Structure 1
Amino acid sequence: MGVGLVLWGSVLCALGVCAVGEKHSLFYIYSALNKDVNLTGIYEFTALGLLDDREIDYYNSKEQKKIPKQSWMMEKMQEDYWEKGTQSRKSKEQWFKVNVDILMQRMKHNNTDLHVLQWRHGCEVEESNGTVKFLRGIDQYSYDGSEFLSFDDENMRWIAPVQAAVITKNKWDGVAILNQYTKGYLEKECVDWLTKFMEYGKETLRNHSPPTVYAFAKKSLRDPRMLTLTCMATGFYPKDVVMSVRKFGTSFPEHLITSSAVRPNDDETYQLRKSVEIQEDDKAQFDCCVNHITLTKPIIVQWDKMNSNIIKSKNAAGSATAGITTCVLLIIIAIIVFICVYFLKKKSGGVGI
Structure 2
Amino acid sequence: MLDDTTVGYFDSETGNYVPRGNTTNEDDVFNLGDTTTIRDDIYANLVLRSRHGNHTENLVVYQVVGLCELWDNDKPGLMITKTAFSGFTIEEVQYVDGKFTYKDQNQDKNPYLQIILWYHENLAFPNCIKTLKTYLKKRGAQVNRKVKPRVRIIQKANTDSGVSRVSCLATGFYPRHINLTLFRDGQPVSDHEITGGDLLPNGDGTYQMRKSLEISAEEQREKHKYTCSATHLSLDNKLDIDLEYEGKPITSIISSVLMVLVFLLVLGTGAAIITWKRRRTDATKSDYSSTSTSDEHVETPS
Quickly name the TM-score band, shorter chain normalised.
0.5 to 0.7
Provide the secondary structure at the position in 1 that maps to 2:212. strand
- 1:30-179 equivalences under 5 Å are 50-72=1-23, 75=26, 85=32, 87-89=34-36, 98=45, 102=49, 106=52, 111-112=57-58, 114-124=59-69, 127=72, 131=73, 137-153=79-95, 156-161=100-105, 163=106, 166-167=107-108, 170-171=110-111, 173=113, 177-178=117-118
C-alpha contact (below 8 Å) 2:185/2:226 kept by paired residues? yes
Does residue 1:296 correspond to 2:241, yes or no? no
State the shift of 1:293 in Å. Answer: 2.0
State the shift of 1:148 in Å. Answer: 3.3
State the shift of 1:142 in Å. Answer: 2.8
Counterpart residue identity of residue 2, structure 2:
L
Deviations 1:222-247 (A, max 9, x none): xx686554322111122122212222
Provide the secondary structure at the position in 2 that maps to 1:71. coil
Deviations 1:41-76 (A, max 9, x none): xxxxxxxxx112222232233212223324357616
Give the structure, 1 or 2, with the largest relative contact order (CA under 8 Å, sep 6 or more): 1
Provide the secondary structure at the position in 1 that maps to 2:198. coil
Residues 1:76 and 1:157: Cα distance change in structure 2 (over 3 Å):
same
Residues 1:235 and 1:192: Cα distance change in structure 2 (over 3 Å):
same
C-alpha contact (below 8 Å) 2:78/2:94 kept by paired residues? no
Regions of 4+ moved over 6 Å: 93-97, 107-110
Residue 306 of structure 1: aligned partner: 248
- 1:213 is matched with which residue: 142, 145, 151? 151
- 1:266-285 equivalences under 5 Å are 266-282=203-219, 283-285=223-225
Percent identity over the alignment is: 21
Counterpart residue identity of residue 140, structure 2:
K
Provide the secondary structure at the position in 1 that maps to 2:248. coil
Residue 170 of structure 2: aligned partner: 233
Residues 1:153 and 1:203: Cα distance change in structure 2 (over 3 Å):
closer
Provide the secondary structure at the position in 1 that maps to 2:169. strand
Deviations 1:303-348 (A, max 9, x none): 333267xxxxxxxxxxxxxxxxxxxxxxxxxxxxxxxxxxxxxxxx
- 1:324-335 equivalences under 5 Å are none
Residues 1:227 and 1:170: Cα distance change in structure 2 (over 3 Å):
farther
State the shift of 1:198 in Å. Answer: 2.1
Q: Aligned residue pairs: how many?
A: 241
Unpaired runs of at least 5, structure 2: 251-302
Counterpart residue identity of residue 183, structure 2:
R
Provide the secondary structure at the position in 2 that maps to 1:148. strand
Residue 16 of structure 1: aligned partner: none
Q: Distance in 1 between matches of 2:39 and 2:153?
A: 48
Q: Distance in 2 between matches of 1:61 and 1:249?
A: 55
Give the structure with the higher percent helix. 2
Residue 245 of structure 1: aligned partner: 182
State the shift of 1:122 in Å. Answer: 0.8
Residues 1:202 and 1:106: Cα distance change in structure 2 (over 3 Å):
closer
Q: Distance in 1 between matches of 2:41 and 2:123?
A: 24
Q: Which has the larger radius of gyration?
A: 2
Residues 1:171 and 1:284: Cα distance change in structure 2 (over 3 Å):
farther
Residue 199 of structure 2: aligned partner: 262
> TM-score, structure 2 length as denominator?
0.60
Unpaired runs of at least 5, structure 1: 1-49, 309-353
Residues 1:137 and 1:249: Cα distance change in structure 2 (over 3 Å):
farther
C-alpha contact (below 8 Å) 2:171/2:207 kept by paired residues? yes
C-alpha contact (below 8 Å) 1:59/1:89 kept by paired residues? no
Provide the secondary structure at the position in 2 that maps to 1:53. coil
C-alpha contact (below 8 Å) 1:76/1:200 kept by paired residues? no
> TM-score, structure 1 length as denominator?
0.53
Deviations 1:202-227 (A, max 9, x none): 3333443221123245579xxx6865
C-alpha contact (below 8 Å) 1:66/1:89 kept by paired residues? no
Counterpart residue identity of residue 210, structure 1:
K
